[in-house]
A and B are shown apart, each in its own frame.
Chain A
Amino acid sequence: MFSTHGILVIGGGIAGQAVCEAVRTRDTDVPVTLVCGEDHLPYDRVRLGDLLADDGTVDALRLRPDGWYEDAGVTVLTGSRVASLDPDTGTATLESGTVLHYDRVVLCTGSDALVPPLEGSDLDGVEVFRDPADCAAILGAARSARHAAVIGGGLLGLEAAHALAKLGTATTLIHLVDRLMERQLDAPAAKLLTPAIAGLGVDVRLEHATKAVLAGDDGKAAGLAFADGTSLDCDLVVVAVGIRPHVGLARETGLTVERGIVVDDRLVTSHPHVLAVGECAQHRGVVHGIVAPIHDQAQVAADTLLGRAAAYEGSIPTAKLKVMGVDLVTAGAAEGEREVVVADAAAGTYRKLVTSPEGVVLGAVLLGDARGAELLMDAVRVGRVTEDPLALLAEASQATAAELPDTAQVCNCNGVCKGAIVEAIRDGGLGSTQEVVNVTRAGAGCGSCKPVVTELLQIERAGAAEEPAYLCPCRKLTREAVGDLVRERDIVSVSELAGACGAGRDCGACKPGLSYLIEERQAAKFRQERHAKYINDRVHANIQNDGTFSVIPRIRGGVVTADELRRFADVADKYELPMIKITGGQRIDLLGVRKEQLPAVWEDLGMPSGYAYAKAVRTVKTCVGTQFCRFGLGDAITVGIDLEGAMEGLHTPHKVKAAVTGCPRNCAEAYVKDIGLVAIENGWEVYVGGAAGASVRKGDLLTTVETAEEAKRVALAYLQHYREHGEHLERTYHYMERVGLEAVQAVVLDPEQQTGLLERYAIAKAACDPDPWRERYAPVHPNQFSELDSDPEGLDLVALAAAGMEVAR
């Protein structure tokens, strides 16, 4: 059917790109030309919020790299606009005067932001949120703005408001009707969403009809006036109320245009040689403003272009709010004849399934807990029939990627189903999430499906693939994601974090990791909760296989006094302890202590906690060094005791064992410690990432310095670097292999960054508890050290409290 002119695609957005790709998967020869109005190659408008939120560049949002177009044989004309179109003669004239020839033309002209006819909407300081230029303008204005107002409480408005609040700008969201996202949500879900958005730091005002943008003395926007007579002071106004299909060219060409360019089920307009796809097209009366239908339409359009029979029968609307900590997924109808709801108002979760009376799944709303979203979206898409909608909801919340049908669409942005991903992993032998994203495009859009892609990869490769390091695996939250949330919302406790994103609520196994993360980020502001800690950290002793505990006091550098040794002996006799053991870390362990005995044992020992039960700095082993040894080159004992004092009390991602040894004979085993200092002629070597446990690894030589004082500074800076970047339960030897010695050196040895690390170390050190065993004087709960039918032994609490007062003074 084609002469040699081929296909002309007008519009370099997601739709134009999708049409080019759909054509190329069917036919590699037909000439394809893509005309882009903007100066950029096609980019992903769905992720525009990233430009605001992360201050990124348009290049980061590129749908395909430069080379793709040449490889695919697609001619791209950027910065070119079509001035006129004559489908009868098969020509298009560019604004530059150039004439292009084609057999078929596809209009993918997209849409503009809809700006309601408001007085003052043309003032300086009023922006729309539609393309990268808008983002740049909003970012520029947000930096100096005192108060920003976002008009529009739909998906785009919510994302814009979140991005502005994240930048630290005071932000008010204005919405016309009485609930947010009224097109996608039912009233109860919308009611829960409002406080969740408010929790992001956005002031939400519903039922506010904006009447005018008010001008200030400088002629720029200074406020909004509402229909009810009230007003709001704001110097930045972002309008995000909807889209207006770009139909000018179609209208001038004489095509039938209503709200959008009218197309039939083959995506053909009123002229048989002209098709329209995407937000500019109106199909069966509907203009789709979201991305998933574009891909459905592009597939059908490509078939039509190549003379194959195909029909587009509409798309089920789906929406995902891409705001961290506010999980929201909707598909299909939000209301219907038969509805089942599982809601927890206190936790802010709401899960609803809408079916026909016969049980055909018509819609789903998941808020606050989006587990099983892919399964439910697929159920809506295929019209799955269920006899028990409640059971389907419950099944979805437990579903893993393994249970998804092959037809389930995993990536809604790029329309990629599970079957295609699994096939790509098997056929291509793919081993990392990024490879799968690159090959299949799943996850290359908004990125919200990447956890599912990773899960599929793990199922297929059965452990041969990368392990994603989720801090909270139940909610698929990484350490970075949780850390961002802690910073953004200034979260100070595990309970607050659970309320914000659900982390730690399901199985609780990650609570100690969450607790560590918040403590590390917030230092003195951290509010500790005992339920988020292992029993070891609740009673400050290490639980043993029979439920008793071991007690190891602080013995810095492995140096102990005769008086202390006598007390060990007396305590072991008095409490009839079954064993006294010298540990590998040059300390003394009292074993078989019952929980109820702990406070009294600590009191009788009269020594501080050795933190031998915690993910924390444990001990610094030493040799006798220059104090006694004939070969000693450095004073290992003094340096070791000093280093242990500087590190003790600090929690770490996993335990940290250190050593200081007086010469390279290495009697203190410093080469195989997390941190090891080795005295050499005229200096000290600092080793990190060594291990002699389940793994045996000689540490990496971080640096060689001249003085013990410098060695200590480097060691502390390294400790802080690990505290800030280590994954929970990642020992330094894994950390070094993951991060790499050079990357660590670049930070820890850089004078400026080292100063920053040491400052943050000092803040953490000041906030830490040097001796949690003092809780014997003031337990956090009357039953901290006892069961319901036992009491702490041999301890006069009144007398101890009095002693505690003395100690405190």
Chain B
Amino acid sequence: MSVWTRIAGPADVPYLEGRSVVVAGRRIAAFRLPDGWAATDAACPHEGGPLGDGIVADSCVTCPLHQRRFDLRTGRQIGGDDVVAVHEIEERDGGLWVRLAAPAALENAA
């Protein structure tokens, strides 16, 4: 039901950083990891901080506003109960492609 959208070229996101983009009216953040990519909603569920500006480690991002940490694979907050939506992201044909999580999955995740 959801579609794949090309959001950028792989070189547009620096190593171990994130950048945001609007897909289908929703701002998401794409992260370049040592072994691939991750994508989440751009806004921290706490107070809307820009997760794309956070510090990124191997599989974790820290929100720059209040240092909440989220696992980039599951979207789960580390040491807390918040969840940020995780989207599918792939690098192919020289581009970065994103498919938004289905709303139902979001509700389950939350």
Contact = CB atoms under 8 A, between A and B. Distances in A.
Interface of A: 346, 504-509, 511-512, 529-536, 538, 543, 545, 547, 780-784, 787-789
B14 A530 contact: yes
A782 to B, nearest CB: 7
Contact of B62 (A509, A545, A780, A782): A509
Contacts of B50: 535, 543, 547
B101 interface: no
B21 A506 contact: no
A784 B14 CA distance: 8
Given A508-B60, A509-B57, 17 more contacts: A505-B57, A506-B58, A507-B57, A508-B55, A508-B57, A508-B61, A511-B57, A531-B16, A535-B53, A543-B64, A543-B65, A547-B48, A780-B14, A781-B14, A787-B21, A787-B52, A788-B13
B93 to A, nearest CB: 17
Most buried by B among A346, A504, A509: A509
A499 B70 CA distance: 23
18 contacts: A505-B58, A507-B60, A508-B56, A508-B62, A509-B67, A509-B69, A531-B14, A531-B15, A531-B55, A531-B56, A532-B55, A534-B64, A535-B54, A536-B64, A543-B50, A543-B53, A787-B21, A788-B7
Interface string B2-31: 000001100011111101111000000010
A545 B50 CA distance: 10
A545 B17 CA distance: 20
Contacts of B45: none
A506 B53 contact: no
B78 interface: yes
Interface residues of B, number: 34
A781 to B, nearest CB: 5
A511 B58 CA distance: 12
Contact of A506 (B20, B30, B57): B57
B40 to A, nearest CB: 14
Nearest to B61: A508
Interface of B: 7-8, 12-17, 19-22, 30, 34-35, 47-50, 52-58, 60-62, 64-65, 67, 69, 78
Contacts of B54: 535
Contact of B30 (A511, A784, A788): A788
B5 to A, nearest CB: 11
The 6 A-B residue pairs with the shortest CB-CB distance, nearest first, are A508-B57, A531-B16, A788-B21, A535-B53, A788-B8, A547-B50
Nearest to B52: A787
Contact of A507 (B16, B48, B52, B78): B78
Contacts of B17: 530-531, 538
B62 A507 contact: yes
A534 B67 CA distance: 11
A787 B20 contact: yes
Contacts of A507: 57, 60, 62, 69, 78
A390 B35 CA distance: 22
Nearest to A535: B53
A780 B17 CA distance: 13
Most buried by B among A529, A530, A547: A547
A509 B34 CA distance: 17
A687 to B, nearest CB: 32
Contacts of B15: 531
A130 to B, nearest CB: 42
Contacts of A509: 55, 57, 62, 67, 69
Contacts of B53: 535, 538, 543, 547
A536 B54 CA distance: 10
Nearest to A494: B16
Contacts of A782: 12
B10 to A, nearest CB: 11
A535 B57 contact: no
B64 A535 contact: yes
Most buried by B among A507, A533, A545, A784: A507
B55 A511 contact: yes
Contacts of B69: 507, 509
A505 B35 CA distance: 13
A145 to B, nearest CB: 40
Contacts of B12: 782-783, 788
Nearest to A504: B57
Contacts of A543: 50, 53, 64-65
Nearest to A789: B21
Given A512-B55, A783-B14, A788-B21, A545 B65 contact: yes
A504 B58 CA distance: 9
Nearest to A548: B50
A507 B12 CA distance: 24
A397 to B, nearest CB: 13
Most buried by A among B16, B17, B30, B57: B57
Most buried by B among A506, A529, A545, A788: A788
Contacts of B67: 509
A739 to B, nearest CB: 27
Given A507-B62, A507-B69, A783-B19, A545 B55 contact: no
Nearest to B30: A788
Contacts of B16: 529, 531
A508 B62 CA distance: 8
A24 B27 CA distance: 70
B30 to A, nearest CB: 7
A778 to B, nearest CB: 15
Contacts of B14: 530-531, 780-781, 783-784
Nearest to B28: A788
Contacts of A784: 14
B20 A788 contact: yes
A530 B55 CA distance: 10
Contacts of B61: 508
A505 B14 CA distance: 17
A37 to B, nearest CB: 52
A531 B52 CA distance: 12
A575 to B, nearest CB: 20
A60 B7 CA distance: 62
A66 B56 CA distance: 52
Contacts of B78: 507
Contacts of A534: 55, 64
B60 A506 contact: yes
Contacts of A529: 16
Nearest to B14: A781
B17 to A, nearest CB: 6
A536 B50 CA distance: 13
B56 A788 contact: no
A650 B16 CA distance: 25
Nearest to B32: A531
A506 to B, nearest CB: 6
Contacts of A532: 55
Given A509-B67, A782-B12, A783-B12, A789 B22 contact: yes
A543 B15 CA distance: 21
A512 B47 CA distance: 23
Most buried by B among A346, A534, A538, A787: A787
Contacts of B22: 789
Nearest to A780: B14
Most buried by A among B47, B55, B61: B55
A550 to B, nearest CB: 14
A98 to B, nearest CB: 65
Nearest to A787: B20
Contacts of A781: 14
A511 B67 CA distance: 13
A791 to B, nearest CB: 12
Nearest to B9: A788
